[in-house]
Amino acid sequence: MPDHSHPTAAGSYLAGAVIWSTLMKESLEGNTFPGGCEKPLPPEVTLKLQKAAWDVTKAFFRW
């Protein structure tokens, strides 16, 4: 973001997806929640972020 302190809506969504994947040991892929920001993320963006979060989490923990 312009203030160089806060993440974008996509960055926040990605962080949340990684936390979910880590705690629940499952993917968010297919979840239809578009994020809680004023401008919801498009479905194709949320799906890519969900997949990225799961891929990174699996690789990190070697699941």
DSSP string, 41-63: PPHHHHHHHHHHHHHHHHHHHT-
In a domain, 3, yes or no: no
How many domains does one find in the chain? Answer: 1
In a domain, 4, yes or no: no
Q: Quote the pLDDT of residue 53.
A: 98
Q: Quote the pLDDT of residue 5.
A: 86
pLDDT at 2 over 90: no
Q: Quote the pLDDT of residue 1.
A: 72
In a domain, 1, yes or no: no
Query: pLDDT, tens digit, for every residue of 13-60?
Result: 999 999 999 999 999 999 999 888 778 899 999 999 999 999 999 999
Q: How many other CB atoms are found less than 10 A from the CB of residue 13?
A: 24
Q: Which domain holds residue 41?
A: 9-61
In a domain, 37, yes or no: yes
Task: Say what the pTM is.
Answer: 0.87
pLDDT at 63 over 80: yes
